[in-house]
Structure 1
Amino acid sequence: MLWTLRSPSVRHLQPCLARKLSFTPNSRLPRITKDAVREIPPSTSFREQVARSAAPKSFTSEIKTPPVRNQVIVFLVGSFAVYSIAAEQCNVETAKWTKKLSGSSLIWKVREPTSEELRKAKRLELGRKLQAGLSSLKDMTEGWSQTMRGLAVWSYIQVFQPILDAGDGKRTCWAIGGVNTLVWAAWQVPKFQPFMMKHFAHNPLSGISYTLLTSMFSHRSFLHLLFNCMALASFGKSSGVAASVHLMKEQAKNPHGIQETDVTWHFLAFYMSAGLFSGMTSHVMTSKVLYPRMIARLTSKAKPVDAAAVAKTSETITETSEKTILPSLGASGAIYAAVTLTALAFPHTEIALMIPPSFPIPIQWGVGGIVALDVIGALRGWRFFDHWAHLGGAAFGAWYYNYGPHMWNSVRATHLEASQKVQRPEKTD
């Protein structure tokens, strides 16, 4: 059976032809005016965007130098605390001995004892205590053989007679040397090495500040300890040419009329402040001069390389800085201050080296020579000694020669006035 095929009528195709071929909603789009076209910022080309972009930071600029603010604060606050405590203790001790002498003689009820009379009275008291100790030793060894008893008495005299004969300044230096020896002994224990390196050696790259104080009493080698203790005992003793002699003489000239039993507290404050200042000087110069100079020298000839090479270069710089910037320790800065103070106070004195033996030379020649050597070492970057710490100590000694004694007397006068106001009863109406 055959069917005839007829073409579809237009009527059947009308719905299909009426369908809109659009996937968007049937809504009118907003008209864009000419003003809106003007407000659209012009697009920048890729070349302009690259030109406007900031230049990449160099590797050197990304490295931060070690901070110095905390170390400066440690010096300022530490020196203020040391001088305040020392001045208060000196006033208390002087008042105690003044009261003690005033009750022992009529003459001191009319006038106050002088500083020299106070020192003599204190020395006599020390002699009586040592004599009592010798008597007690003889009683304890009464049952011993004559040889052993004589050896014990002889040993007691050999130890304590120099202590009695020495002045206050020299005894203070011996006490400092004893503390240095104890710290040196701790260095010799292998188990304590990491602790000592962290807490008793000042590393500018560590960020630790209190090591400015602890490293002042720290010596790792025996020769370093020996030379520093010998120099300290030579320039800190109260007989002959010494820093403490100058401090006592200047104290006698103070306009406040304040007496002083001994120079121990003054010398301790001077010594510790000088050590803090020399350590701070070394830290500042290492952080702001030596470290940036070393980084710039290591990166001055660098060429563009891949990331692995950059990482390797960074490790090399870190290892080199750790090997070049070494931790500092020792009392050399404080001793330089005492040496410089002595040279300025007694310019006509002669000195000579004990090891090796040498002929005497004027003290200013000797001190000027070692300061000049430190200047050369600092400028040329010698690292065997901490030359910046030496120069900082010398600068502190020169400053203290001109202004230190007056500052010490002013601090003592301020504390004395404050204590008198506290003890004075308030008047009531």
Structure 2
Amino acid sequence: MRKKALQFRQKATGWIQRQQNLKHGELRNHMNHWWNKQTEEQKLFYGILLANATVLLAWRLPSLKNFMTLYFCSNPFARAVCWPMVFSTFSHYSFLHFGANMYVLQSFMNATAHSMGKEQFLGFYLSAGVVSSLASHIFKTALRMPGLSLGASGAVMGVLAYFCSQHPNALLQVAFVPGFTFTADSGLKALLSFDAIGLVMRWKLFDHAAHLGGALFGLFWSYWGQKEIWGRRVHFLQVWHEFRTGTRPDK
């Protein structure tokens, strides 16, 4: 009886294990199939989304609070200044802030990244985030206003400004407000005006300086940077390699 029971248990365990392996294999195949169907722009978005989600979860760990405050918050008066200007672009403390930024980014990223290419878009996105952090630093330092800033809003504003300048007549709509549409050009002007007023009035609900910095960088890249900087990137790379190695090509 004991021998029969052990045999039955081994058979049942083996069957359950085979079913689990089969399910895991099916899930992996479904995931691979879904991932392979995504465009290069969508894959890049999911990468940015994953980075932001990871940092959002890291904020929930009490043991990391001091580390997150030091390196994932932009603050011109902090001990660490440079790296947080980049890391804060991927940092959100609240789920609402995270969801709003990722929703807006997903809405405008596909068209923008498609026209730029994923390599240029990634460089543009990171640069917009750093420029927005720099604008926030300059404003806070000039007015002696210490404070922490975090979030992808500045980089997202850069993407939004680029899209609106490239497609000024595109019709946009506010989420969950049906029947109300406006042109991309009008929406961008309204956002810039709102942040400019917030900057002058020193509102503290948003980091208006960071928003304006990111938006102005998006406009700069749309009208000048994409052609004059990205279009001449080979020349800039040659100059950089000459500077790094201390050599000059033969004339």
Post-superposition CA distance 1:213-240 (Å, at most 9, x none): 1111111111111111111111111xxx
Give 1:264 deviation, angstroms: 2.0
Q: How does 1:9-20 map to 2 (within 5 A)?
A: none
Check whether the contact 2:128–2:218 (CA below 8 A) recurs between aligned residues.
Answer: yes
> Given the superposition, is the C-alpha separation of residues 264 and 416 from structure 1 closer, same or farther in structure 2, using an over 3 Å criterion?
farther
1:230 paired to 2:103? yes
Deviation at 1:155, TM superposition (A): 6.9
Q: Distance in 2 between matches of 1:361 and 1:149?
A: 51
Structure 1 residue 348, shift from structure 2 partner: 1.8
Q: 1:162: how far off?
A: 4.5
Equivalent of 2:52 in 162, 180, 204: 180
Partners in 2 of 1:162 and 1:228 — Cα distance? 24
Q: Which residue identity lines up with residue 19 of structure 2 in the other structure? A: W
- In the superposition, the TM-score normalised over structure 1's length comes to 0.48
Matches of 1:374 and 1:224, distance apart in 2? 17
Whether the 8 Å CA contact 1:335–1:393 is kept in 2: the answer is yes
% identical equivalent positions: 28
Match of 2:163 in 1: 342
Local SS of the residue matching 1:225: helix
| CA deviation string 1:246-288 (max 9, x = no partner) | 32xxxxxxxxxxxxxxx22211110111111111011101111
CA contact (8 A) 2:75 2:81 kept: no
Report the alpha carbon displacement of residue 326 of structure 1 after superposing the two structures with TM. 2.2
User: C-alpha offsets along residues 186-235 of structure 1, whole Å, 9 cap, x if unaligned?
Assistant: 10111111111111101222253221111111111111111111111111
1:156 and 1:234 mapped to 2: Cα distance?
28
* Distance change in 2, residues 1:225/1:193 (3 Å): same
Partner of 2:130: 276
Cα distance, 1:167 vs. partner?
2.3
**Cross-structure match for 2:66:** 194
Unaligned regions of 5+ residues in structure 2, if any?
1-15, 242-251
8 Å contact kept, 1:246–1:345: no
RMSD: 2.8
Q: Does 2:158 align with 1:332?
A: no
Give ranges in structure 1 of 5+ residues lacking alignment: 1-140, 248-262, 292-320, 420-429
The separation in 2 between residues aligned to 1:369 and 1:340, in whole angstroms, is: 12
| Equivalence map 1:213-228=2 (5 Å) | 213-228=86-101
Task: After TM superposition, list the pairs within 5 Å mapping 1:22-421 onto structure 2.
Answer: 143-144=18-19, 149=22, 153=26, 156-157=29-30, 159-210=31-82, 211-237=84-110, 242-247=111-116, 263-288=117-142, 290-291=143-144, 325-355=146-176, 357=178, 359-406=180-227, 407-412=229-234, 414-415=236-237
**Closer, same or farther in 2 for the Cα pair 1:351/1:163, shift >3 Å?**
farther
* Matches of 1:410 and 1:191, distance apart in 2: 46
| Residues 185 and 357 of structure 1: CA distance in aligned 2, closer, same or farther (over 3 Å) | farther
Contact between 1:228 and 1:335, CA under 8 Å: does it hold in 2?
yes
Q: 1:367/1:358 Cα in 2 relative to 1: closer, same or farther (>3 Å)? A: farther
Structure having the higher Rg = 1
Which structure ranks higher in relative contact order (CA pairs < 8 Å, sequence separation ≥ 6)?
1
Residue 104 (structure 1) aligns with = none
1: distance between equivalents of 2:34 and 2:27? 13
Using the size of structure 2 for normalisation, the TM-score is: 0.80
Deviation of the 1:174 alpha carbon: 1.4
In the other structure, the counterpart of 2:11 is: none
Instruction: State how far apart, in whole Å, the 2-side matches of 1:326 and 1:283 are.
Output: 10
Instruction: Please state how far the C-alpha of 1:149 moved relative to its aligned partner.
Output: 4.5
> Partners of 1:417 and 1:164 in 2: how far apart?
38
Q: State whether residues 378 and 388 of structure 1, in contact with CA within 8 Å, keep that contact through their aligned partners in structure 2.
A: yes
Seen in structure 2, the aligned counterparts of structure 1 residues 207 and 169 have a Cα distance that, compared at 3 Å, is same
The runs of at least 4 consecutive aligned structure 1 residues that moved more than 6 Å come to 416-419
Work out the CA distance in 1 between the residues paired with 2:169 and 2:139.
33
